[in-house]
Every structure is written in structure tokens, then in C-alpha cells.
Amino acid sequence: MKCEIDTLNEKYQAHVYIEARWLSDSAKLRLTTDQYRQLNEGKFITILKYNETNWTPELCIENSIGELKEVLRYTLKKSNSQQDGQLIEICEHRDIKGAFWEKLEWIVSQITCLLDKLIEPLHHFPSDVQELTVSVTTSYYNDKVILHKDEYHQCGVNREAFVDQQEWMLYEHVETQARFTKEYPFRDENHAKEEQKRSVFSVTCHAG
């Protein structure tokens, strides 16, 4: 991830690359004969519009601002695990450029406002470490899709591409968090409200 931070408006501009992986039965995929042949030969295949004819987790960015510039492509290969049988591993590659919302800590904001009344405005705001988060969610409820960390592929940041190097230092450390958002759909008086959840996966880096 590479980005430019705007603390005044609580947002940042970033270029983010996301990979999402899942398994699918080869018999359920809508592929050409040649694509099936390449998979059976152990080759990787790339399909730009895979999502138009096949199932995907329908991912989206929870904290994006405005319209994002996205480039999607999909790569497929046979699963390496013998236990998976005829399962195919699908990887969605999502290249994103745009603005992301990041809420500052309430305590930091209140302290800064108080200091502004006592002394001249602070040169940097906030004065502590700022979290920069991208949160990915899905249109499906948690009975269909649950997002979790890929233990075989680590998250990272591109510090050399960081735009605001003169004002901020981007740390290498990256944190991840899996959580759920709760929804209460409408029910009439004869039916109790049932809680529904959507899976959210967040990746956070820090600048100070």
C-alpha cells in the first residue's frame, strides 16, 4: 500500500493491492474446454471477467470515500492438496486507487482542541501515531462467506512509494483484524427480529 494522508479531513489517498482466495469444485465452474485442459495440466490461467459467469464473494471496501478506480483479474489453478480432489483455487486480484476514511481517536481530538485554545495551533495534527486502515467486506452474510487472514501470504506496505515522507514516517508493522457487522432486518409483529452479520477483514498500518 502507498498513500498520502489528509488529517484535517480524516481521510487518506492510497494505492492498495488485495488478493482474496477460495476453493471451488471444478465441475461448478463455467470455463472453456481449453481452460479446463490447462488446469488439468497443472497450469495457471488468468481470466479477466471470471466474475461475470462464476461465483465470487462479492467483496467491497467498507471505508472507501467516493468512487474507487479498480482493476480486477482472476487466476485459477488446481489445488495442491490431495484431499481437495477436483477443487480449483481461485485468486481475485484487486488493484485499487482512491480515498479512504479513517476516524481519529476522540481523546486525541479533544486534547488538541483544548491545546488550541491555550496556545498557538499545533503544527502537526494529530501528534501521535495515525492508523491507516483498509476494511474489506462482502455482500453475503456470514452463513455464506467469512473473511479471514491468509496465513501463507503476508500483508505489507511499500514505504518507498509513500508520498508524505517529509511529514510522516510509515512503519513496516501491519496489523489485521477479523470482525462482524450486525444488522437487524425488518420483521412483522409475528416474527422476532433475527440478528444477521457480515464478515469484515481489516488491514492497518501506522504513520507517525
pTM of the model: 0.80
- Give yes or no for residue 108 having a pLDDT over 60: no
CA distances from 93 to 70, 76, 77, 155, 200 (A): 10, 11, 14, 14, 18
Residue 13's CB is within 10 A of a number of other CB atoms, namely: 16
pLDDT at 138 over 80: yes
**pLDDT at site 62:** 96
Q: Is the pLDDT of residue 111 over 50?
A: no
User: Exposure of 14 by Cβ count < 10 A (0-12 exposed, 13-18 middle, 19+ buried)?
Assistant: buried
- Cβ–Cβ under 8 Å, residues 73 and 90: no
**pLDDT value for 40:** 92
CA-nearest of 86, 71, 72 to 25 is 86
pLDDT of residue 93: 98
**130: CATH:** 2.70.170.10
Please report the pLDDT score of residue 186 as a whole number. 56
pLDDT band at 53 (very low <50, low <70, confident <90, very high): very high
Report the domain count for the chain. Answer: 1
Enclosing domain of residue 33 = 2-207
* Distance (Å, whole) CA 7 – CA 71: 27
Residues present in the chain in total: 208
What pLDDT, in 10s, does the model give residues 145-196?
999 999 998 888 877 766 666 677 778 889 999 999 987 665 555 555 567 8
